[in-house]
Every structure is written in structure tokens, then in C-alpha cells.
Structure 1
């Protein structure tokens, strides 16, 4: 078992470190667990994605339990795209019964971008109503106000995109998630730290909830250009792409960029959320370069 809970660290006010690991596309979890275990004593929580980008993978609930059994602290992502309110609440009760208390409430990416484009989206709820449902479960009632045999103790978070071009729309959505019970926020990939600083000044700090800046490992200039083409709302600056293109070792340069962004985030917000897709084993080195020590075992 982890020596701490993510809730404990949030309440303590430490600078938060989380990282994302995708569950396997298949029942063999050996590689998934091996990568996650490299993050032990380096991160406060390991996000388990829920068929991210609508690509079908192992259930995040099952993958979270596997992490918990290895002494890691999972943050189980739960997307509304694939479940109605009955299934969502059932999974939340299952998570609570298994001791998986950290939930990131998401609406979910559209199925058209994934590997089952003919699937039907459910979207009976979206992230705000999922947060509201978690709040009711924590009070001992389901969505229809039927009593549970025991309240849950779920610790709910949400996503936020500080680079949304509409400040008014961003503000409304952010406020709705706060009012619905979000206890922490993990951002989308941050590419403009000046804009992120403005978000923190106007919305982040006043909200009184920790915001973890999304830091993404760019592996090459080609990788950066691909992200610019395929991820709506993301614009990696030309200067970053040129820096990667000039680098003798682009992956190492991407790691240095990550470390620099972590250092920037330490001056602006309450934590970072690291995304190093298929290169999670590099996260400890990136944290070392950023001056982030291993976690205390006390």
C-alpha cells in the first residue's frame, strides 16, 4: 500500500507530481506495471486513462486495482462517453469498494478519433454532472436520491484547458466544476506558460483548489508537428519545434524541455501532471533534471 494518499498530499499543500500511464490493449499488464513501478517514490499519483483518444484499452478500474496492489496511488480516470448514469455510478461504487478513491471525472474524447469510429457514444452525463453524482455518492445517495448502504469517500478531480480561446467560456466551465465538487484540476498540455500564468491569476489561485500543469514529453519535431495537426486547441510554438529539429538527440532535448517546463510550473501553480506516452520510464530522469527529489517515505 502507498505510504500516503493523494488526498493527504493535496491537503498538506505539497507541490504535487502526477503522471499518466495508459492501460494495455490486451489482458497482459506486465509492461504497464513495469512502467508504473518506475514512478514509485517519484509521483504522488498515477493517472490511469480511460480509453484515451477513444482507443479501446483495459478498464481503468481494473488497471487502477493492479497499481494499488503494487503499492502505487492510482487516479482513476472515468469518461462519460461510454457509460450511462447507472454504469458510471456502479463503477464508482466498485472503485470505492476496492479502495480506489481518486477519480478524474471526464466527458471523454469523441469516438470518431479512436479505433472504433462506428461505436455509439453514450454521454448520458458529462464531467460536471459526473462530479455532482460523486458528491451525492459521498453523501450516501445515488443520483435518484436512493440511499446507499454506506457513503463513498471518493476524491474527485477534473480537467481544465487554460489555453481555451474563450476566457468567459473557460471561466463558466471552471466555476461549474468547482461548484460540482472538484477538489483538484489537471490541465491539458500547456504550450503557452504566459497564458497559463494569466489563467492562474484570474481563475486558478482564487478558486483555492490545486491546479496541476500538464507537461508533455515531445519526442521529436515530427512528433510536435503531428500533435499540432491532430490535437484541437494545441499549438506548440515554432521555436520549440525548431529547437527539437536542430537537436542532435531530439528525445533528450524533449526531456530537457519537460524539465524546464516543470521548473516554470513550480513558480506558477500547485503541481505538474506528466504525460510521456510510451516513454514513461524517462520520467524519473526528467524529474531529476527539474530538481524534483524522490518523495519522502515518511
Structure 2
């Protein structure tokens, strides 16, 4: 009965997947189509237009359609967050798997280095990396955040693999002559999904907020590329004239983070058998 409950989808997971599906559909749509050109400037009569059926989120000080810009900006932020998580998860999982399974001196050295890196706020480390690579390029932002997120995934994975390296089915595979690579990939990795999947959702949240923060400060994605963080910085200076700019942009960031947070919470509750 308990196992059946664990397999059932709880309310958090259901809500997170539904919200995530809607947001993903809108973001994918924004890659191919927007109601207006996000960078097209209007004439004087099209500046600071309030939200309407023609402009769902109004226009900014250049007469640009804010809804179109939010779609493009969300696509940029979403892409950077996904790529960041992929880099951090793949490299971090590989490092954590090796150190957790084999242990020894390599484990000690890498984990102490990992402790040093995690002692610093991730956004601070990202700022250091981006200052070396150069600001204003989304690929540099992806690389910087990806490198910064490796230690957190390595620590989570290392703990999970260390806990499973001496269980019976792993010992049996070892006795049957299975290679370490096969044991890691086939026998242990699938059984760490309950740990890694919530870590991925947390990483996505952190990546969205980190990218938005860096672009807000002007050292992340900059024009002509649209980014939610940079747009929020623009909206701050226009808040009295066009408060809908900040509302639309801020809401996009909140919903992206909320969807991943609900999915992560839902996965953890499903593992504990809590509905």
C-alpha cells in the first residue's frame, strides 16, 4: 500500500508539472513567434501604453511590446538555466560518482576542494568567473554558472553513491565481474534518481535567479539579447511610468521558479509517501 502511494502523483507534483508545461509551451512558442518584434521601437504615440488586448502587458519607453519581450527574455533565461543545470549535473554527477564509489585519497582531495568552493556564495563565484570570461555573452554566462554549480551536484551524488557502494546487489555485480563503469551507470545511478531529481529542480531555481541577478547587474546577458534580469533592471527605472513592465517581467521569474519548486517538493513528497 505504501509503495502504491509513493507511485501516485501528489498535488505539488501535479501542479508543478502543469505549470511547467504551460510555461514551457509559451517559451517554445516565443522561440518561433511573438505578437510583435521584441526589439522593434514604436513611435511617440506607442510609448507607455497600458495593458490591453492589443498589447497584453503594455509597452515600454521605446514603444516595444512588453509581452513579446517577456517571451523572448523568458526563453533566454530558461535556456541558460537548462544548459547550466546540464553542465553542473553531468560533470558534478560524474565526479561525485567516482569519489563516492572509490573513496580514498582522490575522494579526500576533491571533497576538500569542493568544501572550499561551496563556502563561497554561488553568485559571487559566478561573478569571478564571468569577470575572467567577459560579460555580455550568454555562452559565457552558461559556462560560468555551469562551473559554479558542479560542486553542489558532486556533493549530493557523492553521498548517494557512497551509501550504495556496499549494498548486496552492488556486491553481487562486483563478484560477477561487472566493470566499475557498469556498476556506476547501471546498478547505482538509477537508484539515486530520488536524490538527483530534486537536486536538478533546486539547481534550475538557483540558475534562474543567478542569471537574472547577473543580467540585472549588467554583467550577464545584455542587449540586443532579451533577458528577464536585464528587463527587470529596465523596469525599475520606469516603475512610475510603466509599472506593468516590472509586474510582467517579475511574474515570469516567479512562475519559472515556482514551477520547478513545486516539482521538487512533489518529488520529495512522493519519495516519502506523503500526498
TM-score, normalised to structure 1, is: 0.25
Structure label with greater radius of gyration: 2
TM-score, structure 2 as length reference: 0.27
* Structure with bigger RCO (C-alpha 8 Å, 6+ apart): 2
